[in-house]
Amino acid sequence: MKVCIAEKPSVAREIAQVLGANTKHDGYFEGNGYAVTYTFGHLCTLFEPNDYKPHWKSWDLNNLPMLPEKFKTKVVDNEGIQKQFNIVKGLFDKAELVINCGDAGQEGELIQRWVMNQANYTGEVKRLWISSLTTEAIKEGFTKLRPSEDYDHLYYAGFSRAIGDWLLGMNATRLYTVKHGGYKQMLSVGRVQTPTLAMVVNRFKEIEDFKPQPYWELQTLYRETVFSYEEGRFLKMEEGEAVAAMVKEHEFEIVSINKKKGKEYAPKLFDLTGLQVYCNTKFGFSADETLKIVQKLYEQKAVTYPRVDTTFLPNDVYPKVGEILGNLTQYAELCAPLLNKKIKKSSKVFNDKKVTDHHAIIPTGVEINMNPAQKQVYDSIVRRFIAVFYEDCEVSNTTVIGKVTTINFKTTGREILKKGWRIVFETPDSKGKKESGVLPSFVKGEKGPHEPSFMEKQTKPPKQFTEATLLRAMETAGKQVDDDEMRELMKENGIGRPSTRANIIETLFRRKYIKRNKKQVLPTPTGIQLIDTIQNELLKSAELTGMWEKQLKDIEKGEFSAGTFINNMKRMVDQLVYEVRSETKRANISHSTTVQKSENKKTTKKKKGIEDVSCPKCKEGKLLKGSSAYGCSGYKNGCDFLLPFDFHGKTISENQFLRLLTKGCTVNLKGFKPNDGEEVEGLVRFDEQFKLVLEPKVVAAPVNQTPICPKCKKGDIVKGKSAYGCSDFRNGCDFRCSFDEIKVKANGKPLTKALVLEILKGAK
């Protein structure tokens, strides 16, 4: 019997269907000479410290460093996992051949190798290596099974990574927790998470410490076009003013017009980091959310394997491109122009040297039902794929030089001559928009009046990280790289792997080392304190961590020894323990104390009173409290501003007066009796003379809170467990608007009742 082992039950089911193993048993499928079983991710894990030595269970500085001679694995201590492991082991005992069908990557290889080793399986092993879960891909993969030995270096790299993370994580976390942790505070330190946190903290401090420097810019407006002083900014105001004064006296003359045609290439296909960056920027998805969505699309056969770090395709994918495009029926209008001629093949897309185990993320051509978030991610992948086969976008770049006497000014413009691949990304809104950056038609030697301006500006600090920019920083080990080609070259020295970066960021959120402020990623006081406490630069250095990642990649290629990597990590941990144990100061870091300190700061802040507010009328005096009203301290100079305590028979509180002074009106208040008449509700404002006026509350006409179904126009919209539907569904109305769809259409706005009603009215 041949035993196939996949990483998830859902993947095992797909493989079983292709192989004809249609009989379902507890924990596996059987038939046609095959048994197809599965893991639930990691069935096995590395030993805990106390599994090596019982006294290592205690978190004690005297037990550090913990450096096992040989690293061992065990089955995860979970009843369901242990049951599945025993089923797998039983199948292995009967197997003539085991086919490793784990995810085609380092982690997938490690998961299944640990299971085989733990089950003491010593027979023949073959490897299934596929990039998508379509029936065709699985069938083709089974015709090209390779010996397991071909992937030994991949396994060594995965095992080395796990050991490195254990050595540094277990030792450094205990070391800093015992030495510097406060009450019940565990200080988690890791090979990748700590330099990532350090990048966030360093950026935050750089912005906090930033001192803006003034500079001056000289520009002039000629024929509705802004020209800038060619030599750039002025650092001394006097120098700039002298040039500006000279420019004012003379006419502007066009000296040269240089037009140069150029090409803009389509955006590269997505790797995982690129997709996460794009979806965070465009849709606000976190890196973890994007990973989960694209992983689900892969398991549903819609896209290829997502945990990749290349933006290229191998040459053997080219013959399949036409078939994939032909199957994208929802994009038939965009694909049709490509299918009517020979499909373009570019080295910017197809390059065997840039592809190792997997290629860029592309659609498979299999179309499925998707929720709104999945549609957004899928649409992004598909449009990138279609765009790379379109013609390049042709542009005309224009540089115009003008002068006033001998002083040169420059402006640049850009005009799209042929849209090419840009058509793929056009929306109904963008089609009619006037193109920006097109210059007027200038003639060399023309002269005319102009309007110079001399402006003071200030240098700006770098921006706080977002998840998108943090992912890019992890990819390039903290270096600021905007060029795509350079980024490709630096990927080998990035920190973390594409598949784990999202989890690293989520771990930092979960441990309260970083927090979200809208799109910004900011460090918490605990995170800042931890990085300040760690004196060892190696632990915090993104660049050095990137070098470790490069060594792990070299192990994978067979160019570096796994034993050397592990011994180097052991030496580093030993040195780290010695250094930290020798430190004389104790930081006493605790999340609860840092939170308490910040709360204390908030409570000790003096509350602003009405007598701290400037007079809104004369803008010079301060408000004073009298016997029956607040008045202005500038009354001796003629300011007659007054705020009477009683207005239309109602006493107004100091808080409401403060609101009036800061926001322009009070809230709606009850109890006003204008002209001793009936009681009125309303808000108080100032008139033009800063006298109080009452604005009665406007009572809105009653609104039907239950809108009519926009599809059948008969039933009412009703709320279900996961969607809104029509009350007339029994008569055939299939109107449905899911909660996810409403969130997408809200586009980040708070889901108020009014907004939901507005979205439902526009749904079909």
Summarised one tens digit per residue, pLDDT across range 47-56 is 999 999 999 9
Which tens digits make up the pLDDT trace of 226-283?
A: 999 999 999 999 999 999 999 998 999 999 999 999 999 999 999 999 999 999 999 9
pLDDT score recorded for residue 429: 66
Residue 119 in tokens: 């089950």
The Cα 233–Cα 239 span in angstroms is 10
The yes-or-no verdict on residue 527 having pLDDT over 50 is: yes
The yes-or-no verdict on residue 452 having pLDDT over 50 is: yes
CB 667 within 8 A of CB 684: no
User: What are the backbone dihedrals phi and psi of residue 82, each rounded to the nearest 5 degrees, phi first?
Assistant: -65, -35
Cis peptide bond upstream of 65, omega within 30: yes
Q: Which residue ranges does the chain devote to CATH 3.40.50.140? A: 2-144
pLDDT score recorded for residue 204: 96
The yes-or-no verdict on residue 430 having pLDDT over 70 is: no
Q: Which residue ranges does the chain devote to CATH 2.70.20.10? A: 214-266+393-426+436-458
Q: What are the residues whose beta carbons fall under 8 Å from the beta carbon of 31, sequence distance 6 or more?
A: 16, 19, 20, 21, 22, 23
CB 583 within 8 A of CB 179: yes
Annotated active-site positions, please? 305
Average pLDDT, integer, range 655-680: 83
The yes-or-no verdict on residue 607 having pLDDT over 80 is: no
The yes-or-no verdict on residue 703 having pLDDT over 70 is: no
Higher model confidence: residue 302 or residue 732? Answer: 302
Of the chain, the end-to-end C-alpha distance in Å amounts to 54
Confidence of residue 604 (pLDDT cuts 50, 70, 90): very low
Confidence of residue 489 (pLDDT cuts 50, 70, 90): very low
In this prediction, what percent of the chain has a pLDDT beyond 90? 60
Confidence of residue 321 (pLDDT cuts 50, 70, 90): very high
Higher model confidence: residue 246 or residue 737? Answer: 246
Q: Which CATH number applies to 2-144: 1.10.760.10, 3.90.226.10, 3.40.50.140, 3.30.70.100? A: 3.40.50.140
The Cα 525–Cα 34 span in angstroms is 56
Mean pLDDT of all residues belonging to the chain: 88
The yes-or-no verdict on residue 302 having pLDDT over 60 is: yes
Lowest mean pLDDT among 117-126, 344-353, 703-712: 703-712
Average pLDDT, integer, range 119-137: 93
Residue 348 carries which DSSP code?
T
Q: Which residue ranges does the chain devote to CATH 1.10.460.10? A: 181-208+464-598
pLDDT score recorded for residue 702: 45
CB 499 within 8 A of CB 512: no
pLDDT score recorded for residue 727: 83
Higher model confidence: residue 122 or residue 542? Answer: 122
The yes-or-no verdict on residue 601 having pLDDT over 70 is: no
Give the residue from 54, 158, 153 showing the smallest Cα distance to 106.
158
Helix (H) or strand (E) holding 116: helix 106-118
The yes-or-no verdict on residue 145 having pLDDT over 50 is: yes
Helices (H) and strands (E) in the chain, counts: 25, 29
Identify residue 269 by its one-letter amino acid code.
L
pLDDT score recorded for residue 605: 47
The yes-or-no verdict on residue 748 having pLDDT over 50 is: yes
Helix (H) or strand (E) holding 456: strand 451-458
pTM of the model: 0.71
- In the block, tokens 């049709």 appear at 336
Give the residue from 209, 194, 532, 263 showing the smallest Cα distance to 416.
263
In this prediction, what percent of the chain has a pLDDT beyond 70? 92
CB 192 within 8 A of CB 206: no
- In the block, tokens 């199957």 appear at 327
Give the residue from 609, 645, 639 showing the smallest Cα distance to 627.
645
Domain 272-387 class in CATH: mainly alpha
The yes-or-no verdict on residue 553 having pLDDT over 50 is: yes
Q: What are the residues whose beta carbons fall under 8 Å from the beta carbon of 275, sequence distance 6 or more?
A: 290, 294, 306, 361, 377, 380, 381
Higher model confidence: residue 111 or residue 437? Answer: 111
pLDDT score recorded for residue 610: 80
Which CATH number is 214-266+393-426+436-458 given? 2.70.20.10
Question: What angle, 0 to 180 degrees and rounded to 10, lies between the N-to-C axes of helices 562-582 and 542-557?
Answer: 160
Higher model confidence: residue 719 or residue 163? Answer: 163
Domain 181-208+464-598 has CATH 1.20.58.110: no
Higher model confidence: residue 763 or residue 33? Answer: 33
- In the block, tokens 């207005």 appear at 647
CB 267 within 8 A of CB 358: no
The yes-or-no verdict on residue 434 having pLDDT over 60 is: no
pLDDT score recorded for residue 280: 94
The Cα 467–Cα 519 span in angstroms is 7
Lowest mean pLDDT among 224-228, 332-336, 434-438, 709-713: 434-438
Lowest mean pLDDT among 254-268, 364-378, 733-747: 733-747
pLDDT score recorded for residue 700: 45
pLDDT score recorded for residue 446: 95
The yes-or-no verdict on residue 481 having pLDDT over 70 is: no
pLDDT score recorded for residue 487: 52
Confidence of residue 600 (pLDDT cuts 50, 70, 90): low
CB 718 within 8 A of CB 724: yes
Give the residue from 345, 387, 381 showing the smallest Cα distance to 361.
381
The yes-or-no verdict on residue 759 having pLDDT over 50 is: yes
Integer-rounded Cα radius of gyration of the chain? 34
The Cα 520–Cα 672 span in angstroms is 46
pLDDT score recorded for residue 697: 76
Higher model confidence: residue 177 or residue 709? Answer: 177
Residue 752 carries which DSSP code?
-
pLDDT score recorded for residue 603: 46
- In the block, tokens 């009350």 appear at 727
Collapsing DSSP states into helix, strand and coil, what is residue 216?
A: strand
The yes-or-no verdict on residue 492 having pLDDT over 70 is: no
Lowest mean pLDDT among 148-157, 288-297, 329-338, 354-363: 354-363
Collapsing DSSP states into helix, strand and coil, what is residue 27?
A: coil
Query: 3-state SS of 65-111?
Result: CCCCCCCCEEECCCHHHHHHHHHHHHHHHHCCEEEEECCCCHHHHHH
With left for phi above 0 and alpha for psi between -120 and 50, is residue 487 left, alpha or beta?
alpha
Which neighbouring-strand residues pair with 410? 228, 401
In 353-419, where do the E strands start and end?
393-404, 407-418
Higher model confidence: residue 584 or residue 322? Answer: 322
Confidence of residue 742 (pLDDT cuts 50, 70, 90): confident
